[in-house]
Amino acid sequence: MALLYAQQVEEMDVEEMQETHEAEIEILNEIDKLATYYGMDKTDEKLKALEEKIEEYLVHVKTHFANEERLMRKYDFPKYDMHKMAHDMFLMDLSITIKQWRKFGDIEKVTNFIRKSPEWIVLHINTVDAPTSAYIAHMMALEKEKK
Ligand SMILES: [Fe+2]
Ligand SMILES: [Fe+2]
């Protein structure tokens, strides 16, 4: 069983947003799997694989949020501040958890955080990203018409 399925989140009207969400879900599922493997066999090799995936996830989340924020600014999305704040709060929680892991080496803190995050992710995508992407897709279509 996967941690999260792409079908659980609403399909975005903006293709690049959809692709980012699918890629991120894949990374989350890989972390879940690697954490299970490490739990069964605590070798350095398994730990390294898990750590690398977590680093990849952090970069992916940052790029994901920054790209949505760029699109929102480009098309003057009216609820930009609210959406940006939701990103900032999630990123702050994630960064604190990762910092603690780097300082104290407790990888379980990070994997626990990640395993609990699908709830936030599904809610954010379905209630915040979905209306944002509908607006952006509409603005993109208008822009095309003008050309
Ligand atoms: Fe998103
Ligand atoms: Fe978002």
Confidence of residue 126 (pLDDT cuts 50, 70, 90): very high
Question: Hey, CA dihedral for 35, 41, 42, 48, is it positive or negative?
Answer: negative
Q: What pLDDT does residue 67 have? A: 98
> Which ligand approaches the C-alpha of residue 16 most closely?
1
Plot region of 43 (φ>0 → left; ψ -120 to 50 → alpha; else → beta): beta
State the distance from the centre of ligand 1 to the C-alpha of 60, rounded, in angstroms. 11
Q: Nearest to residue 116, comparing CAs of 5, 32, 34?
A: 32
State the distance from the centre of ligand 2 to the C-alpha of 40, rounded, in angstroms. 34
- The predicted model scores a pTM of 0.95
Plot region of 105 (φ>0 → left; ψ -120 to 50 → alpha; else → beta): left
C-alpha pair distances (Å), 88 with each of 10, 50, 81:
22, 25, 10
Q: What pLDDT does residue 109 have? A: 93
State the distance from the centre of ligand 1 to the C-alpha of 52, rounded, in angstroms. 22
Please state which CATH number belongs to domain 12-146.
Answer: 1.20.120.50
> Which ligand approaches the C-alpha of residue 86 most closely?
2
Confidence of residue 128 (pLDDT cuts 50, 70, 90): very high
Q: Nearest to residue 136, comparing CAs of 50, 70, 42, 46?
A: 70
Q: Nearest to residue 140, comparing CAs of 87, 41, 85, 72?
A: 72
Give yes or no for a contact between 98 and 59, defined as CB atoms under 8 angstroms apart.
no
Q: Which tens digits make up the pLDDT trace of 62-89?
A: 999 999 999 999 999 999 999 999 999 9
Q: Which residues surround ligand 1, an ion (CB under 5 A)?
A: 129
State the distance from the centre of ligand 1 to the C-alpha of 113, rounded, in angstroms. 18
Q: For 117-143, what is the mean pLDDT?
A: 97
State the distance from the centre of ligand 1 to the C-alpha of 34, rounded, in angstroms. 24
Task: Give the span between the Cα atoms of 69 and 78, in whole angstroms.
Answer: 12
Q: Which tens digits make up the pLDDT trace of 6-52?
A: 999 999 999 999 999 999 999 999 999 999 999 999 999 999 999 99
> Which ligand approaches the C-alpha of residue 17 most closely?
1
State the distance from the centre of ligand 2 to the C-alpha of 62, rounded, in angstroms. 11
Task: Give the span between the Cα atoms of 25 and 4, in whole angstroms.
Answer: 6
Q: What pLDDT does residue 146 have? A: 86
Q: Would you list the domain boundaries of the chain?
A: 12-146
Confidence of residue 147 (pLDDT cuts 50, 70, 90): confident
> Which ligand approaches the C-alpha of residue 90 most closely?
2
